[in-house]
Structures are given as structure tokens and as C-alpha cells.
């Protein structure tokens, strides 16, 4: 059962109690946990309006969308860092030359910049517009990046 505690004709507490609970003076019980309970002087009733229900639903949808967008941005920034470190490591390990290191950054950085705003699909389009390199090491870097972006977009994470 749901117990509403009333003081000065206002609801000051709501709690769940087992069915054996004895309702005390100043308490009212019901089987319903109201969305917006109101004590009308003799009973606890629901007072939420359809407009308030609609506004709550809209707010929940907006919050979910905002959280998704924030996650896309966060993932994008993290991936940009990962790509930067990956390319730098390839250069440091001697897998690519200084000219190749600069070249891959010049082509990938503008293509991937939309990731900073969480726009994975735009980054994917940008990558698709790049002619893949012919050098095996450069192609491996391009393919690594493209595969990760494609997988993120395909998973519907954007």
C-alpha cells in the first residue's frame, strides 16, 4: 500500500508499506502512487494534467537526445585523440616517413574534424570522399580510421 502523510492539509511524505501496516492519524492509504498527489481535505487524489504529462514526456525525450548528442561528441573527441596517437606512434616506430606523417594528418584532420561536434556521419562522408592511399602503411592507417568510423555509424551510435 502507498501511505501519504498529511500535515496542515498538505502531503509531507509518501512511502510504501506492507499490507499489514496500520494507518495512523494524519495518514491516508491507497493502492496508487500518484504522479502529482493532492490532498483535497478528505482524500488524496491525482492532480496531474494531460498538459503536464505531455510536458514531462517531451522533457524526457529532449534529455535523452541531449545525452546522446553529448555522448557522440565525447566519443568523437576521444576517437580524434586515439587517431592522433595512432598516427604519431606509426611515425615514431618508423612505419611512416615524416612526409607521410604530415600528409596523413593533412588529409585526415579536416575529414575527421566533424567528430569534435559528434557528427560521425559527416566524418564518414568526408572519409569516403578521400582517395585511399596506395602506400601499404598509409592505407593501413586510412583503413583503420575508416573502419572505426563506419562501425560507429553502422551501429547507429550517431
Please identify every stretch of the chain with a pLDDT value under 50, giving residue numbers as ranges.
none
23-32, Cβ contacts within 8 angstroms, sequence gap of 24 or more: 27/3, 28/3, 28/4, 29/1, 29/2, 29/3, 29/4, 30/1, 30/2, 30/4, 31/1, 31/2, 32/2
* pLDDT for the residue 90: 93
Amino acid at each position: 500500500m502507498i501511505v501519504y502523510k498529511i500535515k496542515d492539509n498538505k502531503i509531507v511524505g509518501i512511502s510504501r508499506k506492507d499490507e499489514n501496516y496500520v494507518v495512523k492519524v494524519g495518514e491516508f492509504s491507497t493502492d496508487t502512487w500518484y504522479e502529482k498527489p493532492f490532498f483535497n481535505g478528505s482524500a488524496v487524489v491525482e492532480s496531474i494534467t494531460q498538459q503536464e504529462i505531455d510536458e514531462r514526456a517531451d522533457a524526457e525525450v529532449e534529455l535523452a537526445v541531449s545525452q546522446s548528442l553529448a555522448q557522440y561528441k565525447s566519443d568523437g573527441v576521444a576517437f580524434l585523440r586515439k587517431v592522433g596517437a595512432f598516427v604519431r606512434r606509426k611515425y615514431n616506430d618508423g612505419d611512416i616517413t615524416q612526409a607521410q606523417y604530415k600528409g596523413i594528418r593533412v588529409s585526415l584532420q579536416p575529414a575527421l574534424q566533424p567528430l569534435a561536434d559528434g557528427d560521425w556521419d559527416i566524418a564518414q562522408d568526408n572519409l569516403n570522399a578521400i582517395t585511399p592511399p596506395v602506400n601499404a602503411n598509409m592505407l593501413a592507417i586510412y583503413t583503420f580510421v575508416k573502419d572505426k568510423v563506419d562501425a560507429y555509424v553502422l551501429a547507429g551510435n550517431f
